[in-house]
Amino acid sequence: MRIRQVAAAFLTSVFLAMPVMAAAVAPPALVLAEVYRNAIDPAGYWVSEKLDGVRAYWDGKQLYFRSGHPVPAPAWFTRDFPAIPLDGELWLGRGGFERLSGIVRKTEPVDAEWRRVRYMLFELPGAEGTFTARKDRLKQLLEHAGIPWLQAIDQYRVADRKTLLADLDKVVAVNGEGLMLHRADAPYSSGRSDDLVKLKHYLDSEAKVIAHLPGAGRNAGRLGALLVEDPGGRRFRIGTGFSDAQREAPPPVGSLVTYRYRGLTAKGLPRFPAFLRLREAF
Protein backbone atom coordinates (compact mmCIF):
# COMPACT_ATOMS: atom_id res chain seq x y z
CA MET A 1 0.00 0.00 0.00
CA ARG A 2 2.77 2.38 0.92
CA ILE A 3 4.48 1.86 -2.45
CA ARG A 4 1.25 2.66 -4.30
CA GLN A 5 0.71 5.80 -2.22
CA VAL A 6 4.28 7.00 -2.70
CA ALA A 7 4.15 6.19 -6.42
CA ALA A 8 0.87 8.06 -6.80
CA ALA A 9 2.34 11.07 -5.04
CA PHE A 10 5.43 10.84 -7.23
CA LEU A 11 3.34 10.72 -10.42
CA THR A 12 1.31 13.71 -9.28
CA SER A 13 4.43 15.73 -8.52
CA VAL A 14 5.99 14.77 -11.85
CA PHE A 15 2.83 15.76 -13.72
CA LEU A 16 2.62 19.11 -11.98
CA ALA A 17 6.30 19.82 -12.52
CA MET A 18 6.51 18.44 -16.03
CA PRO A 19 7.32 21.06 -18.63
CA VAL A 20 4.96 21.52 -21.54
CA MET A 21 7.14 20.62 -24.49
CA ALA A 22 6.95 22.52 -27.75
CA ALA A 23 5.50 20.71 -30.73
CA ALA A 24 7.79 17.95 -31.95
CA VAL A 25 8.91 17.27 -35.49
CA ALA A 26 9.60 13.81 -36.85
CA PRO A 27 12.55 12.29 -34.97
CA PRO A 28 15.76 13.08 -36.88
CA ALA A 29 17.37 10.21 -38.79
CA LEU A 30 20.67 9.97 -36.94
CA VAL A 31 23.52 7.50 -36.92
CA LEU A 32 23.07 4.93 -34.11
CA ALA A 33 25.61 2.69 -32.44
CA GLU A 34 25.94 -1.08 -32.51
CA VAL A 35 27.72 -2.95 -29.70
CA TYR A 36 31.42 -3.60 -30.19
CA ARG A 37 32.37 -7.19 -31.06
CA ASN A 38 35.77 -8.83 -30.84
CA ALA A 39 35.71 -9.40 -34.61
CA ILE A 40 35.90 -5.64 -35.19
CA ASP A 41 39.44 -4.38 -35.78
CA PRO A 42 39.73 -1.06 -33.92
CA ALA A 43 42.68 0.00 -36.08
CA GLY A 44 40.19 1.08 -38.75
CA TYR A 45 38.28 3.38 -36.39
CA TRP A 46 38.53 6.73 -34.67
CA VAL A 47 38.02 6.35 -30.91
CA SER A 48 36.43 8.78 -28.46
CA GLU A 49 34.99 8.74 -24.96
CA LYS A 50 31.31 7.85 -24.66
CA LEU A 51 29.73 10.81 -22.90
CA ASP A 52 26.86 10.42 -20.42
CA GLY A 53 24.95 13.34 -21.86
CA VAL A 54 21.74 14.06 -23.75
CA ARG A 55 21.77 13.56 -27.53
CA ALA A 56 20.92 16.73 -29.42
CA TYR A 57 20.60 17.51 -33.14
CA TRP A 58 21.04 20.97 -34.67
CA ASP A 59 19.30 21.24 -38.07
CA GLY A 60 20.94 24.57 -38.89
CA LYS A 61 18.19 26.63 -37.26
CA GLN A 62 16.80 24.75 -34.24
CA LEU A 63 18.19 22.38 -31.61
CA TYR A 64 16.21 19.15 -31.10
CA PHE A 65 16.25 16.18 -28.79
CA ARG A 66 16.51 12.78 -30.45
CA SER A 67 12.72 12.45 -30.00
CA GLY A 68 12.11 15.44 -32.28
CA HIS A 69 11.10 17.81 -29.45
CA PRO A 70 12.84 21.20 -29.52
CA VAL A 71 15.47 21.73 -26.83
CA PRO A 72 14.37 24.71 -24.68
CA ALA A 73 17.85 26.24 -24.65
CA PRO A 74 18.41 29.97 -24.08
CA ALA A 75 18.54 31.99 -27.29
CA TRP A 76 22.17 32.99 -26.66
CA PHE A 77 23.22 29.33 -26.48
CA THR A 78 22.42 28.63 -30.15
CA ARG A 79 22.43 32.14 -31.64
CA ASP A 80 25.79 31.85 -33.40
CA PHE A 81 25.75 28.13 -34.24
CA PRO A 82 26.76 27.30 -37.84
CA ALA A 83 23.83 27.13 -40.27
CA ILE A 84 24.45 23.44 -41.06
CA PRO A 85 23.33 20.21 -39.34
CA LEU A 86 25.31 19.13 -36.27
CA ASP A 87 25.04 16.05 -34.05
CA GLY A 88 26.36 15.61 -30.54
CA GLU A 89 25.70 15.48 -26.81
CA LEU A 90 24.69 18.15 -24.35
CA TRP A 91 27.07 17.48 -21.48
CA LEU A 92 27.97 18.69 -17.99
CA GLY A 93 30.93 16.39 -17.40
CA ARG A 94 31.37 12.83 -16.17
CA GLY A 95 28.65 11.77 -13.76
CA GLY A 96 26.53 14.83 -14.52
CA PHE A 97 23.60 13.22 -16.35
CA GLU A 98 21.00 13.67 -13.60
CA ARG A 99 21.81 17.36 -13.14
CA LEU A 100 21.89 17.88 -16.90
CA SER A 101 18.49 16.22 -17.26
CA GLY A 102 16.99 18.70 -14.83
CA ILE A 103 18.53 21.64 -16.69
CA VAL A 104 17.53 20.79 -20.26
CA ARG A 105 13.91 19.81 -19.44
CA LYS A 106 12.93 23.23 -18.14
CA THR A 107 10.75 25.17 -20.56
CA GLU A 108 12.06 28.36 -18.97
CA PRO A 109 15.82 27.86 -19.19
CA VAL A 110 18.00 29.17 -16.38
CA ASP A 111 20.98 31.03 -17.81
CA ALA A 112 23.26 30.26 -14.87
CA GLU A 113 22.61 26.53 -15.33
CA TRP A 114 23.08 26.57 -19.10
CA ARG A 115 26.42 28.38 -18.71
CA ARG A 116 27.79 25.05 -17.48
CA VAL A 117 26.45 23.03 -20.43
CA ARG A 118 28.59 22.14 -23.42
CA TYR A 119 27.41 20.85 -26.79
CA MET A 120 29.98 18.17 -27.63
CA LEU A 121 29.91 17.32 -31.35
CA PHE A 122 30.94 14.20 -33.24
CA GLU A 123 29.10 14.34 -36.60
CA LEU A 124 28.01 16.46 -39.53
CA PRO A 125 24.74 14.72 -40.51
CA GLY A 126 24.35 14.22 -44.23
CA ALA A 127 27.75 15.67 -45.12
CA GLU A 128 29.81 14.10 -47.88
CA GLY A 129 33.11 12.27 -47.47
CA THR A 130 34.47 9.75 -45.01
CA PHE A 131 34.16 10.12 -41.26
CA THR A 132 37.80 11.22 -41.20
CA ALA A 133 36.98 14.03 -43.64
CA ARG A 134 33.85 15.02 -41.73
CA LYS A 135 35.74 15.00 -38.42
CA ASP A 136 38.41 17.32 -39.85
CA ARG A 137 35.82 19.63 -41.37
CA LEU A 138 33.96 19.78 -38.05
CA LYS A 139 37.13 20.78 -36.22
CA GLN A 140 37.79 23.57 -38.71
CA LEU A 141 34.18 24.73 -38.51
CA LEU A 142 34.28 25.01 -34.72
CA GLU A 143 37.64 26.80 -34.73
CA HIS A 144 36.10 29.40 -37.05
CA ALA A 145 32.91 29.68 -34.95
CA GLY A 146 34.86 30.32 -31.74
CA ILE A 147 31.99 29.41 -29.39
CA PRO A 148 33.39 28.13 -26.05
CA TRP A 149 30.50 25.77 -25.29
CA LEU A 150 30.44 24.34 -28.83
CA GLN A 151 33.22 21.74 -28.96
CA ALA A 152 34.30 18.67 -30.90
CA ILE A 153 34.75 15.43 -28.99
CA ASP A 154 38.39 14.35 -29.07
CA GLN A 155 39.04 11.56 -31.59
CA TYR A 156 42.17 9.41 -31.73
CA ARG A 157 43.42 6.14 -33.24
CA VAL A 158 44.57 2.91 -31.60
CA ALA A 159 46.74 0.18 -33.06
CA ASP A 160 44.97 -2.89 -31.68
CA ARG A 161 42.35 -4.36 -29.36
CA LYS A 162 44.76 -4.58 -26.41
CA THR A 163 45.34 -0.83 -26.53
CA LEU A 164 41.61 -0.20 -26.94
CA LEU A 165 40.73 -2.23 -23.83
CA ALA A 166 43.46 -0.51 -21.83
CA ASP A 167 41.96 2.86 -22.84
CA LEU A 168 38.53 1.63 -21.78
CA ASP A 169 39.87 0.79 -18.32
CA LYS A 170 41.39 4.28 -18.03
CA VAL A 171 38.10 5.98 -18.93
CA VAL A 172 36.04 3.84 -16.55
CA ALA A 173 38.58 4.49 -13.76
CA VAL A 174 37.76 8.21 -13.90
CA ASN A 175 33.98 7.64 -13.89
CA GLY A 176 33.55 7.60 -17.67
CA GLU A 177 30.94 5.38 -19.37
CA GLY A 178 32.99 3.78 -22.11
CA LEU A 179 34.27 4.35 -25.64
CA MET A 180 32.77 5.05 -29.07
CA LEU A 181 34.38 3.89 -32.31
CA HIS A 182 33.65 5.58 -35.66
CA ARG A 183 34.82 3.75 -38.78
CA ALA A 184 37.36 6.04 -40.43
CA ASP A 185 36.34 5.42 -44.06
CA ALA A 186 32.56 5.37 -43.50
CA PRO A 187 30.30 7.70 -45.50
CA TYR A 188 27.48 9.25 -43.51
CA SER A 189 24.58 6.84 -43.09
CA SER A 190 21.75 7.10 -40.56
CA GLY A 191 20.54 4.10 -38.61
CA ARG A 192 22.40 1.36 -36.79
CA SER A 193 25.51 -0.26 -38.27
CA ASP A 194 29.15 -1.11 -37.55
CA ASP A 195 30.09 2.36 -38.82
CA LEU A 196 29.57 3.38 -35.18
CA VAL A 197 30.02 1.01 -32.24
CA LYS A 198 30.10 1.44 -28.48
CA LEU A 199 32.32 -0.37 -26.00
CA LYS A 200 31.58 -0.65 -22.29
CA HIS A 201 32.41 -3.02 -19.46
CA TYR A 202 28.71 -3.89 -19.40
CA LEU A 203 25.74 -4.05 -21.76
CA ASP A 204 22.71 -1.82 -21.36
CA SER A 205 19.20 -1.67 -22.77
CA GLU A 206 15.74 -0.30 -22.05
CA ALA A 207 12.51 -1.82 -20.79
CA LYS A 208 9.01 -0.69 -19.84
CA VAL A 209 7.92 -0.77 -16.19
CA ILE A 210 4.96 -3.15 -15.79
CA ALA A 211 4.60 -3.28 -12.00
CA HIS A 212 6.22 -2.44 -8.66
CA LEU A 213 6.99 -5.53 -6.61
CA PRO A 214 7.07 -5.06 -2.81
CA GLY A 215 10.28 -5.50 -0.87
CA ALA A 216 11.13 -7.49 2.24
CA GLY A 217 13.57 -7.04 5.10
CA ARG A 218 15.13 -3.57 5.00
CA ASN A 219 13.00 -2.82 1.93
CA ALA A 220 9.71 -3.79 3.55
CA GLY A 221 7.02 -1.25 2.69
CA ARG A 222 8.83 0.08 -0.35
CA LEU A 223 10.06 -1.09 -3.74
CA GLY A 224 11.68 -4.51 -3.85
CA ALA A 225 11.97 -4.86 -7.62
CA LEU A 226 10.55 -3.62 -10.91
CA LEU A 227 8.71 -6.02 -13.18
CA VAL A 228 9.65 -4.85 -16.68
CA GLU A 229 9.05 -5.87 -20.28
CA ASP A 230 11.59 -5.54 -23.09
CA PRO A 231 10.70 -4.62 -26.70
CA GLY A 232 10.44 -8.35 -27.53
CA GLY A 233 7.72 -8.89 -24.91
CA ARG A 234 9.96 -10.76 -22.45
CA ARG A 235 9.31 -9.93 -18.80
CA PHE A 236 11.84 -10.02 -15.96
CA ARG A 237 12.67 -8.35 -12.67
CA ILE A 238 15.15 -5.61 -11.89
CA GLY A 239 15.92 -5.68 -8.18
CA THR A 240 19.26 -3.93 -7.78
CA GLY A 241 20.84 -0.58 -8.57
CA PHE A 242 18.22 1.56 -6.78
CA SER A 243 18.99 4.27 -4.24
CA ASP A 244 16.86 4.51 -1.10
CA ALA A 245 15.08 7.52 -2.61
CA GLN A 246 14.26 5.52 -5.77
CA ARG A 247 12.88 2.66 -3.68
CA GLU A 248 10.63 5.14 -1.87
CA ALA A 249 9.49 6.75 -5.15
CA PRO A 250 10.08 4.18 -7.91
CA PRO A 251 9.95 4.86 -11.66
CA PRO A 252 6.26 5.08 -12.63
CA VAL A 253 4.44 2.14 -14.21
CA GLY A 254 4.50 2.69 -17.97
CA SER A 255 7.81 4.58 -17.95
CA LEU A 256 10.96 3.41 -19.68
CA VAL A 257 14.06 2.59 -17.66
CA THR A 258 17.63 1.90 -18.70
CA TYR A 259 19.30 -1.10 -17.09
CA ARG A 260 22.65 -2.79 -17.44
CA TYR A 261 23.32 -6.51 -17.58
CA ARG A 262 25.99 -9.16 -18.21
CA GLY A 263 24.92 -11.08 -21.27
CA LEU A 264 21.83 -13.25 -21.75
CA THR A 265 20.59 -16.46 -20.17
CA ALA A 266 19.71 -19.56 -22.19
CA LYS A 267 16.12 -18.22 -22.27
CA GLY A 268 17.24 -14.91 -23.76
CA LEU A 269 16.73 -12.89 -20.58
CA PRO A 270 19.30 -10.38 -19.31
CA ARG A 271 21.70 -11.82 -16.77
CA PHE A 272 22.06 -9.83 -13.50
CA PRO A 273 20.03 -6.78 -14.63
CA ALA A 274 20.61 -3.65 -12.55
CA PHE A 275 18.77 -0.32 -12.70
CA LEU A 276 20.71 2.58 -14.22
CA ARG A 277 18.25 5.43 -14.68
CA LEU A 278 14.77 6.48 -15.70
CA ARG A 279 14.84 7.18 -19.41
CA GLU A 280 13.83 10.78 -19.91
CA ALA A 281 11.14 11.36 -22.54
CA PHE A 282 13.00 14.27 -24.18
Q: Which one of the listed residues 50, 139, 170, 200 is annotated catalytic?
A: 50
**How many Cα atoms within 13 Å fall on the side-chain side of residue 272?**
5
Is 200 labeled as catalytic in the residue annotation? no
Q: Which of 42, 90, 35 is nearest to 201 (CA)?
A: 35
Concatenate the DSSP letters of all residues of 113-158 into one string.
HHTT-EEEEEE-TT-SSBHHHHHHHHHHHHHHH--TTEEEPP-B--
Q: What are phi and psi of 236, to 5 degrees?
A: -160, 175
Phi-psi region at 253: left, alpha or beta (left = phi > 0; alpha = psi -120 to 50):
beta
Element (H, E) at 261: strand 256-261
* Burial class of residue 200 (count of CB atoms within 10 Å of its CB; 0-12, 13-18, 19+): middle
Active site residues: 50
